[in-house]
């Protein structure tokens, strides 16, 4: 017969689904039962596939993709595959981390890229305040060591300065404040917020060598409130890496290099990030994939 094709030469060695696709492609030229026999598949299986060609795995991928998108959107585009996987696992899903990563990659779901971090050489220790932490950022209970630092945020009204205080035990932001200038009151406001909610007893408060942390007023304030100052070496950001890491997360996950219309808008967004996302929700790798609030709650229950 003219144009006759030897189907035995076109046998598919792959999945059954590929055989079904070949049969469907050649349906107008050859009998279905003959092709099924030559390709060693059951006609009933082919007709079942024809009525529902999507595989069970493909349907499961589609279901998981909806959950992945929900987790990604709930994090406001922050979470990559590891944290999305933790969300799914907490919801009772049993898929693997690699499957989550594959589905995110295939569907163009990507977390915000990080900021490039400058490398610093080791600097000199502070002459008046020793470095009591010495990069020992793993703490066994709350209120042993706090870390404080200052960063700046761009607005069309000018800079907005943010000071934070973090508890190294849970990485929780226990105090924060914003001002139009880097006056020492900025730091005091942040620490006062922490003192309102936390009990201190010779709590170390670690900072860089900024002038806000080096004054006599600062040292007197610390002594009168059960705090013991500690300072990084000059020009060495790794000595205060936890605070630097928080600022990196804030800028990557929320600020994203934008300029706010005014200082109030920036302050509102910072407040939302800290109080409604970072402390209660954001999964932290150092804490085993749970949020600072959840970590502290587990500590109280144990």
176 φ/ψ sector (left φ>0, alpha ψ -120 to 50, else beta): beta
Q: Does 57 score more than 80 pLDDT?
A: no
Lowest mean per-residue pLDDT among 4-18, 149-163, 210-224, 268-282: 4-18
Query: What pLDDT shows up at residue 27?
Result: 87
Determine contact, residues 256/148, Cβ cutoff 8 Å. Answer: no
C-alpha to C-alpha distance for 207 and 222, rounded to whole angstroms: 13
2 — pLDDT class (breaks 50, 70, 90)? very low
| Domain residue ranges in the chain | 7-51, 62-106, 145-301
CA dist 20 and 15 (Å) reads 9
CATH code for the part of the protein at 145-301: 3.30.420.10
Vertex 180 angle, CA 179 and 185, to 5°? 45
Confidence of residue 133 (pLDDT cuts 50, 70, 90): confident
- Radius of gyration over every alpha carbon of the chain, rounded to an integer in angstroms: 29
DSSP 8-state symbol, 239: G
Q: Is the pLDDT of residue 37 over 80?
A: yes
Mean pLDDT over each residue of the chain, to the nearest integer? 84
Q: Which two three-digit tokens encode residue 13? A: 């060695």
Phi and psi at 28, nearest 5°, equal -75, -15
Partnered with residue 205 across adjacent β-strands are 146, 229
Least confident of 85-89, 115-119, 217-221: 115-119
Q: Which two tokens stand for residue 32?
A: 């279905």
Q: Tell me how far apart the 2 most distant CA atoms of the chain are, in Å.
A: 102
5 pLDDT band, cuts 50/70/90, is very low
Instruction: State the Cα–Cα distance between residues 38 and 40, nearest whole angstrom.
Output: 5
Q: Report the distance separating Cα 223 and Cα 131, nearest Å.
A: 17
Q: Which residues contact 195 (CB under 8 A, 6 or more apart)?
A: 175, 225
Tokens, residue 187: 């730091």
What does the alpha-carbon distance between residue 266 and residue 177 come to, in Å, rounded to a whole number?
A: 12
pLDDT at 53 exceeding the cut of 70 = no
DSSP 284: B
Report the pLDDT averaged over residues 5-17. Answer: 48
User: Regarding predicted confidence, which is higher, 135 or 235?
Assistant: 135
3-state secondary structure (DSSP) of residue 66: helix
* Residue 3 Ramachandran class (φ > 0 left, ψ -120 to 50 alpha, else beta): left
Q: What digits encode the pLDDT tens for the residues 245-285?
A: 899 889 988 998 788 999 999 999 999 999 999 999 999 98
Q: Which two tokens stand for residue 252?
A: 């990557």
Under the banding of pLDDT at 50, 70 and 90, the label for residue 60 is confident
Which range is most confident: 41-45, 170-174, 251-255? 170-174
Q: Is the dihedral of CA 212, 216, 217, 222 positive or negative?
A: positive
Mind listing the pLDDT tens digit for each residue in 98-132?
999 999 998 999 887 655 545 444 445 445 688 88
The residues that bridge with 230 in the sheet, in sequence order, are: 206
Q: Which of 3-17, 107-121, 212-226 has the highest mean pLDDT?
A: 212-226
pTM of the predicted model, to two decimals?
A: 0.68
């Amino acid at each position: 017969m003219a144009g006759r094709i030897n189907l035995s030469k076109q046998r598919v060695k792959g999945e059954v689904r590929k055989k079904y696709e070949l049969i469907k492609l050649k349906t107008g030229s050859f009998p279905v039962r003959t092709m099924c026999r030559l390709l060693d598949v059951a006609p009933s299986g082919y007709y079942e596939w024809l009525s529902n060609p999507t595989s069970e795995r493909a349907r499961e991928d589609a279901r998981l993709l909806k959950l992945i998108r929900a987790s990604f959107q709930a994090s406001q585009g922050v979470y990559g595959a590891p944290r999305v996987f933790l969300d799914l696992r907490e919801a009772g899903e049993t898929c693997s981390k690699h499957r989550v990563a594959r589905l995110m990659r295939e569907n163009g779901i990507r977390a915000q890229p990080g900021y490039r971090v400058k490398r610093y050489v080791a600097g000199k220790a502070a002459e008046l305040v020793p470095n009591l932490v010495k990069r020992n950022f793993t703490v066994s209970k709350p209120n042993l060591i706090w870390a404080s630092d200052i960063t700046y945020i761009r607005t069309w009204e000018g800079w907005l300065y943010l000071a934070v205080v973090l508890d190294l035990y849970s990485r929780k932001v226990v105090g924060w404040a914003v001002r139009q200038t880097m006056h020492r009151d900025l730091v005091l406001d942040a620490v006062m917020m922490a003192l309102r909610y936390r009990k201190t007893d010779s709590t170390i408060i670690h900072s860089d060598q900024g002038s806000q942390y080096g004054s006599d007023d600062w040292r007197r304030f610390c002594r009168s409130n059960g705090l013991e100052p500690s300072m990084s070496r000059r020009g060495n950001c790794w000595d205060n890496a936890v605070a630097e890491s928080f600022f990196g997360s804030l800028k990557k996950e929320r600020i994203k290099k934008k300029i706010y219309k005014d200082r109030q808008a920036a302050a509102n967004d910072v407040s939302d990030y800290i109080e409604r996302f970072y402390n209660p929700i954001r999964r932290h790798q150092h804490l085993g994939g749970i949020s600072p609030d959840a970590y502290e709650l587990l500590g109280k229950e144990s």
